[in-house]
Structure 1
Amino acid sequence: MIALLAAPSNLGLRPPAPTSVPGTAKAPEALREAGLLARLAEHSASVRDAGVVLAGRYADDASPGRLRNQDSIIEHARRLAQRIEDIRSAGDFPLVIGGDCSLVVGVGLALRPAGRFGLVHLDGHTDFRNPGNSEACASLAGEDLAAAVGRHWPAIADIDGLGPYFDPADTVHAGCRDDDEEMAEVREAISLLIPASGIIRDGAAATAARIGEHVDRRDLDGYWLHLDVDILDAAVMPAVDSPDPGGLQADQLTELLAALAPRAVGAHVTVFDPDLDPDGRYARLLTDVVAEGLGRLGSASRASGA
């Protein structure tokens, strides 16, 4: 059974303007309003509402050597991890609707004690800014992949001594644009990197097969899907904090997710900003992509007994 869990966090993002806060915390409710639970039920054998994990108050409090909202991010990650553990202990598959990309830390805290899991990082950016390549570290949503594989400050990359949350050898990134500043570094650091142009060139089915070779292995206990919706082209999905051209079309992303989701142990969806979607059209589009692409989440994973 899919357990739909809301994690309405905006803690990992920079403020869109002085004195304002990012709108990603509104995403779970916007997608529920667009009918996500009912649409998932059309594509899944069973789905349940698993409630919400609320985040702390946003504060633009970054300082040298510390992320903005760092303490709140860590506290939220621990609580999110506990909820994910509870869902998995019940034999269900978590589908976490965020929120921003900092959620991957909470996922890592949940999975690391349970075994060795792969990470499929589907994102329009590599999110690999880290203290080794930048003096501008401040917003975890642009640094989440670095934190996930242990390339960040220990306070965020080694919470409770559990880092790295994902072994770089078990980690795949797909979806960045060809001009991504950290692409070469990420290609060297992790198992596989496929830019959006490669997905478009080779097709979703072939891309999913390549990804599966790296994370759908018998020496792993499964893999988790991270989806930042800015993997979509800016003309398709402008309601994100950093829209860029050169991304996927909605049908390409849906096909990619549908190929990867059945063998995944869980997934999270991030960075949709309802403040940039006044008439709800992009919420409805994303609802269709998530329902059709992730509706069979976990159905063929080893955890399901398939």
Structure 2
Amino acid sequence: MIGLISAPTNLGLRPPVPGGTPGTSKAPKALREAGLNRRLVDAGGVELGTVLAGRYVADPDLPAGRLRNQEAILDHSQRLAVRIEQALAAGHSPLVIGGDCSLLTGTGLALSLRGRHGLVHIDGHTDFRHPGNSTSCASLAGEDLAAAVGMHWPSIADVDGMGPYIAPQDVVHIGCRDDDEQLDEVRDVVASVITAAELHALGPCAAAQRALDVVSRPGVAGYWLHIDVDVLDPTFMPAVDSPSPGGLSPDEFTTLLATVAPGALGAEVACFDPDLDPDEDYARLLSDILVTGLGDLGSGATALPA
């Protein structure tokens, strides 16, 4: 049974303009108004409440070795981890509606408490900026995968001594563009990378099966889906903070999700920005994709007890 958790955060993003505030914290409300929650509840899901984040602060003069909104991100991550763990313990398949990609720290913490887990990281970018390859680390939403596999400052990547939250050999990334700055490094670190161009060539079902071959191996207790909607081509989904051409079509995206969702323990959806969707067209499109693609989330998953 899908358990819906709202996580309205924008803490991991840079300001869209000087002095501005990212709009991703409005996504859970916008998607609810577009009918997402009602449709999933009508299909048997349950509402599990909201995990609110702290106030966004732009922090233009960050000291070295520190993320924007770091304390607020850590607080939100720890509270989100508790809510996800409670959902899993109750037998639900959590669907976290965010929010930005900093959500992955909270879900990583929850999963690490339950043993070894895989991750299917579906994103238009690798999100692999880290202190070893950049002097500009500041926004966790562009660094979440690096943090999840232990390649960030310990204050982020080893919260409560639980890092790495996901072992690199249990990670598949799907959806980045061929010009992604960290693509070569990510190919060397994680088990498998399938770019958007490669998915176009393979087809979404074959790409999904390649991912499942990694995250469903013996010894892996289950796997999680991280979904950044900027994996869609901006022709179809421009309401994101970092649109990039060459992405998936709605049909490709829906088929990919529908193929990987049944075996997953849960999923998170990130980086939809309602501020860029004044007519609510993209909220309705995304709701349609998620209802169809994630409607069977967790229906075939087997979770080990905590």
Aligning the two structures, in what range does the TM-score lie when normalised by the shorter sequence? over 0.9
Tell me the secondary structure at the aligned position of residue 51 of structure 1: strand
What TM-score do you get using the length of structure 2 for normalisation? Answer: 0.97
Cα displacement (A) at 1:115: 1.1
Q: Does 1:48 find its partner at 2:46?
A: yes
Match of 2:58 in 1: 60
Cα displacement (A) at 1:304: 9.7
Work out the number of aligned pairs and report it: 303
Match of 1:105 in 2: 105
Cα displacement (A) at 1:63: 2.4
For residues 235 and 66 of structure 1, what CA distance do their matches in structure 2 show?
A: 35
Tell me the secondary structure at the aligned position of residue 303 of structure 1: coil
For the 8 Å contact 2:5–2:48, the answer to whether it is kept is: yes
Q: Which residue identity lines up with residue 214 of structure 2 in the other structure? A: H
For residues 287 and 304 of structure 2, what CA distance do their matches in structure 1 show?
A: 25
Match of 2:131 in 1: 131
For residues 52 and 302 of structure 2, what CA distance do their matches in structure 1 show?
A: 30
Tell me the secondary structure at the aligned position of residue 210 of structure 2: helix
For residues 295 and 13 of structure 2, what CA distance do their matches in structure 1 show?
A: 28
Match of 2:69 in 1: 69
For the 8 Å contact 1:55–1:72, the answer to whether it is kept is: yes
Q: Does 1:141 find its partner at 2:141?
A: yes
Match of 1:200 in 2: 200
Unmatched 5+ stretches in structure 2: none
Match of 1:37 in 2: 37
Match of 1:2 in 2: 2
For residues 80 and 38 of structure 1, what CA distance do their matches in structure 2 show?
A: 22
Cα displacement (A) at 1:218: 2.4
Unmatched 5+ stretches in structure 1: none
For the 8 Å contact 2:221–2:304, the answer to whether it is kept is: no
Q: Does 1:117 find its partner at 2:117?
A: yes
Cα displacement (A) at 1:172: 0.7
Deviations 1:169-194 (A, max 9, x none): 00110100000010000000000000
What TM-score do you get using the length of structure 1 for normalisation? Answer: 0.97
Match of 2:303 in 1: 303
Match of 1:170 in 2: 170
For the 8 Å contact 2:8–2:53, the answer to whether it is kept is: yes
Tell me the secondary structure at the aligned position of residue 262 of structure 1: coil
Q: Which residue identity lines up with residue 140 of structure 2 in the other structure? A: L
Cα displacement (A) at 1:237: 0.4
For the 8 Å contact 1:63–1:138, the answer to whether it is kept is: no
After TM superposition, the structure 1 stretch with the greater mean CA deviation from structure 2, 295-304 or 192-201, is 295-304
Q: Which residue identity lines up with residue 56 of structure 1 in the other structure? A: G
For the 8 Å contact 1:101–1:271, the answer to whether it is kept is: yes
For residues 285 and 41 of structure 1, what CA distance do their matches in structure 2 show?
A: 18
Over aligned residues, Cα RMSD in angstroms? Answer: 1.2
Tell me the secondary structure at the aligned position of residue 207 of structure 1: helix
Identity %: 61
Moved over 3 A (4+): none
Cα displacement (A) at 1:251: 0.8
Cα displacement (A) at 1:41: 4.2
Tell me the secondary structure at the aligned position of residue 4 of structure 1: strand
> Structure 2 vs 1, CA of residues 304 and 164 (structure 1 numbering), >3 Å: closer, same or farther?
closer
For residues 41 and 83 of structure 2, what CA distance do their matches in structure 1 show?
A: 21
Tell me the secondary structure at the aligned position of residue 6 of structure 2: strand
Tell me the secondary structure at the aligned position of residue 289 of structure 1: helix
Q: Which residue identity lines up with residue 302 of structure 1 in the other structure? A: T
For residues 101 and 198 of structure 1, what CA distance do their matches in structure 2 show?
A: 23
Cα displacement (A) at 1:278: 0.1
Q: Which residue identity lines up with residue 225 of structure 2 in the other structure? A: L
Match of 2:209 in 1: 209
For residues 39 and 292 of structure 1, what CA distance do their matches in structure 2 show?
A: 10
